[in-house]
Amino acid sequence: MTDLSDLQLDKWREPIEPEHSRVGLRVVIAVAILSALGAGGYYWFRHRPQPAANDIRAHTEQPVAASPSPKPVAEPGDGIDLPPLAQTDAIVRQLVSGLSTHPSAAAWLAGDQLVRNFVVSVYNIAGGRSPAAQLARLRPAQKFQVRGSGAELSVDPRSYARYDAYGDAMAALDARGAARLYATLKPRIQDAYRELGHPDDDFDRVMGRAFDELLAVPVLDGRVVALASKSVSYEFADRRLQSMSSAQRQLLRMGPRNVKLIQAKLREIAPLMGVTISRLP
C-alpha cells in the first residue's frame, strides 16, 4: 500500500488558529504540555470489532474525583519584565533553552509567534482537536508501518518507537522548571488567550481540560492494535478507540510506553502549575 501513513490519514478537524498566526506550534511542554502533549503522530485508523469490551473498559474507565479538589498551589514565576506579546519570541527562546536542550525544543523554537501558537495548541487539545498543524516540525522522520493484511492488519510496534525520543524527552523534563516557566510567561499566555475571544477566562482552566483530555487515553499494554484500511488511510479497527477525540487518538498512536511516560509527567506537572485535573493516578 502506498505509504501515506504520516499524512492526514485521519480526517481531523482543522485546528482553530488566530488569523494572524499561521506558524505551527511545536511545543516542548508537550503540551507542557505541550511539548508533550506529546508531540505529533500522523497516522490514522478505523472501526471493526476487536478485543473483548471488558478488556477495553479495564483500561479506559479510570476513576474520576467525586468532588473538585482544592486548587493546587502553583510554583511562582520569575519576576522578569516581559515585552508585549508580539515581541516575546526572544525571551521565550532564552527561557526554554535553559529548560531543555532536546532537539524537539530546538525545532519548536525555530518558529515564531511561540506564545500564541502554544496557546492555540493547548486550546485545540482541550477541545479534543488534534494539534498536528502546530506540531508539524516534530513529525517523525521514519515512516508508519503496519503488519499483516486484510482482517489481520495491525500496527507494527516499530511505528511506536518513532516517538520514543519524545516520550523520553517528556519524562526527563524538569516538572518544577516547566511550571515556573509557565508562571513566568502566564501574563502573555493570558493575552494570547484573550485574542481568541476569551477576555475573562483563566487559561489555567484550558490547561486543566487539556491535561484531562490526554490523561483519558488508555494504555494498551500487550494489545495488538488492529487496523482497517480505508482508501489511502488507516483507522483503528476497534470502534471504542476510533471514537476517541482527535487529540486522544494522536497520543494513543505514540504507543503504550510513551503514553505512560507522558501521562506520568502530566500528573507531576499539573499541581506545580496550579492546574486542577479530574483524572486520578
Provide mean pLDDT across the span 5-14: 33
Which of residues 83 and 79 earns the better pLDDT score?
83
Which of residues 246 and 36 earns the better pLDDT score?
246
Which of residues 35 and 88 earns the better pLDDT score?
88
Among 220, 264, 219, 253, which residue's Cα sits nearest to residue 40?
A: 253
Which of residues 39 and 281 earns the better pLDDT score?
281
In a domain, 77, yes or no: yes
In a domain, 79, yes or no: yes
Query: What are the pLDDT digits (tens) for 154-170?
Result: 999 999 999 998 898 88
- pLDDT above 70: residue 9: no
In a domain, 155, yes or no: no
Which of residues 253 and 100 earns the better pLDDT score?
253
In a domain, 202, yes or no: yes
List the single range of 44-58, 167-181, 215-229 with lowest mean pLDDT: 44-58
pLDDT recorded at residue 67: 52
List the single range of 53-57, 102-106, 191-195, 200-204 with lowest mean pLDDT: 53-57
pLDDT recorded at residue 140: 77
Q: Per-residue DSSP letters for the chain?
A: ----TTSS-S-PPPPP--TT--SPP--SSBBTTBTTTT------------S-HHHHHHHH---B-SSPPPPPPPPPPP--PPPPGGG-HHHHHHHHHHH---HHHHHHHTSS-HHHHHHHHHHHHHTT---TTTTGGG--SSPP-EES-GGG-EE-HHHHHTTHHHHHHHHHS-HHHHHHHHHHHHHHHHHHHHHTT-SSS-HHHHHHHHHHHHHTS---TT---BEEEETTEEEESSHHHHTS-HHHHHHHTT-HHHHHHHHHHHHHHHHHHT----B--
- pLDDT above 70: residue 81: yes
Look at the chain and report how many structural domains it folds into.
1
pLDDT recorded at residue 180: 94
In a domain, 134, yes or no: yes
pLDDT, mean over the chain? 76
Residue 40 confidence class, pLDDT cut points 50, 70, 90: very low
Tell me which residue range forms the domain holding 120: 53-141+161-218+247-273
pLDDT cut 90: percent of the chain above it: 48
Query: What are the pLDDT digits (tens) for 12-28?
Result: 233 333 333 322 233 33
Whole-structure pTM value: 0.74
pLDDT recorded at residue 165: 87
In a domain, 124, yes or no: yes
In a domain, 91, yes or no: yes
In a domain, 258, yes or no: yes
Backbone angles phi, psi at 41, to 5 degrees: -115, 150
pLDDT cut 70: percent of the chain above it: 69
